[in-house]
Structures are given as C-alpha cells and as structure tokens.
Amino acid sequence: MDALLSPPLVAPDDTEPAVDERPALCVHRLGMAHPGDLSALAALLDAGTLRAADIVAVIGKTEGNGGVNDFTRGYFTQTLMALLAERTGRPAATLLRELPCILSGGTEGVLSPHYVVFARSGRLEASSGDATGPGALAIGTAVSAPLAAQHVGRWAHVESVADAVRAAMRDAGIARTEDVAFVQVKCPCVTAARAQAAAAAGHTVLTADSNRSMATARAAGAFGVAIALGELPDDAALEAAMLTDFTRFSSRASVSSGVEVEANEVIVLGHSPRWQGELRMGCAPMGDALDLGAVARALRPLGLAAEPQLSEADAARVAAVFVKCEPDRRGSVRGARHTMLDDTDINAQRHIRGAVGGMVAGVLGDGRIFVSGGAEHQGPDGGGLVAVIARGTP
C-alpha cells in the first residue's frame, strides 16, 4: 500500500500587500468670502487633509469685472502664493513661476466666487507606460517662458502655447491626444505700459488696445491647444485665420487672458491608466448660448443625468465645472436678435456669463461654476464648451 503523502510545508506569508504608488489627483472646490480669502484652503492644510507641497494648480472665479483692470485676480494670486510659501518654505516668486493659478473675474447672477485646488500625490513611473485600462483623471501643468509683448496674439504666441500643452501632457503621462479631456490656459495681454516698453525697444505690438489684446491672446491660446491636440495643422499660414475664420476651433480649450501674468500657464486634464483614483471628466462643445444639451453631453460619460436637474446624490459627485461662452458676434441666437453687443451700460461678457452661468447652474443645482467669457476659437462660433469633473464611475 502506498504511503500516505503529507502536504508540503508552506511558510506563512507575512509579506505586506503591494501598495499602488501610481499618482492620484485630488480636487477641492472651495468658497471664498472675498478675493483674498483662502481660509478654507488654510483649514484643509491645518487639518492635514491636504499637503501644500502636493498642490499643483488652482482655477478660480473672483468677483471682479473680468476686464483688463480686474485686480481681484492678482489679489487672489498674491495671497495664494504667500500662503503656499509659508507652508512649503519655498519663495513665493518661485511658486509663481511654477504653479498655474488661472482666474476668471466676474460672478454675475447666481455664480458664486470659488476656487478649485488640484493636488497630486504618488509617483508617475516611466515603467508604467504600457499600463492598460480606462484610466483615472490625470493632471499635468506647464508654464512657458515669459512672452514678449510684441508676440502676444501672433504665431510665436501660438507656438509657445502648443509647446506648453505638449509639456503638460508629458507631465501628466498622457501620450495620446485623444486621452486629453480639457485644457485650461491663461495668457498675458498687452497693456499700455507693455506696449510703450515694446515700442521703446524697437518692437511693434499687434494691438495696443488692451481689450482687443485679450481677445487676440485668447485666440492664439486656442490655436496653440488645437495644434498640440491635432485639431488643427501646425501651419503658420493659419495666423491669418485667427479672429477671422471661426470654423477653426478647439473643442477642448478654455483660454483666459489677463494683466496678472507674463507667461502662458497651462493645465492639461485627461485620463490615463498610469493614474489611480475615482475622478473622471467629461467635456462637450456648446453650439450656442442656449445649448442645454451640451451640459447633458458632458455629464453623460460620467454616469450623471439631469431630469431636468441633477439629484442631490448626483450633484454631490460633481467636483468642479468649467464653462466657456461668448455673445454671438452675429447679433442673434437661433434667429432671435440679442442686444448684448449693443449695451453700453453692461459689458457683453458680463451679460453672457450671467446668462450661460444661470443655465448651467440650473441643471447642476449649484452656482460654483467657473464661467469665462471670450470663447474665440474655443468651441463653435457663438457657443463655447462645458467640462465637468465628477467622483465615482458610472
């Protein structure tokens, strides 16, 4: 009779489970009592909920006029850099050159002043480049070299933004342009002082009109994003199409311009299997200022449905919302005349932010929405785009 065989001895497994060290993105949407109020962020830092060293970008809405002389943006930026310098031990001037702080002024109607803080933890390993799967939301940032006034709104500006978008994609570990969900850019503009300094140095600016310069900067930024994402060819001859041919646009670009920056600040958000976490993002172009369906199209891939407004549970999943819009330059919306461009009492951009902001807020049940006017080449002419970050998977 065969001897009974004893099972082999197995040493107890006392090894620790593998730790997923892929980077993860954390998003905090915080309110403010005034443009210099960062008490909500300070409270998160004090509680240890958030590490100052992990903060990589901020996007916010301040209650200024959104124009050239809107100093609420600079006030917020200065306060933010002072707080982060105190908490990280790094000079505020260094942080200012490295950390995008992209602000839009104007909280008309039901829009609420707030800011969105993006924090990144973990490590992006080069060896994980072959990772597969749907991927989590990833972030990458880049700040270009300072842009000379004579280049603002010209092809050199377009190239500067395109290079910064590519750098931000590398920073995020996003290799495919189709995996980019949304790109936020802040560009410098030409002020009277900058125009005079350029002239004294023998240079000619595209326009010395500050308001016009903001529009040319936004157009150049949108073209830069479109080229980097393959939505437009990299052809310098396209410079003539800026602010003239509005059939050319990026469906994923949101571009602002202001006096408080001298370089192009870029934030790229997209999906990558090299990242972990529950955040996802949807983005949809708006055909016009009444395109309620675009909000639904941005929500749909996130498993969110408004009937007609998001439920309280679904609204709680929304982490941040970004909108670009503009008053239709042709003077009508769906065949009906609008008067936004002819109102000398209220700037047209303030009209459109209030109108579209109210529409989107009504769907989401929340006024904490980043709504920025001036959507030149950012979505269809007279429209814009809607982008939503949400927690959880469909």
List, by residue number, the catalytic residues.
186, 256
Q: How many CB atoms lie within 10 A of CB 152?
A: 26
H-state helical runs in the chain: 39-47, 72-88, 92-98, 155-172, 192-200, 210-228, 292-299, 312-317, 348-364
In angstroms, the CA 116 to CA 103 distance is 10
CA 50 vs. chain centroid, Å, equals 20
Are 352 and 291 in contact, with CB atoms under 8 Å apart?
A: no
3 secondary structure, DSSP code: P
Q: Which H or E element spans position 271?
A: strand 265-272
Are 207 and 153 in contact, with CB atoms under 8 Å apart?
A: yes
In angstroms, the CA 335 to CA 11 distance is 78
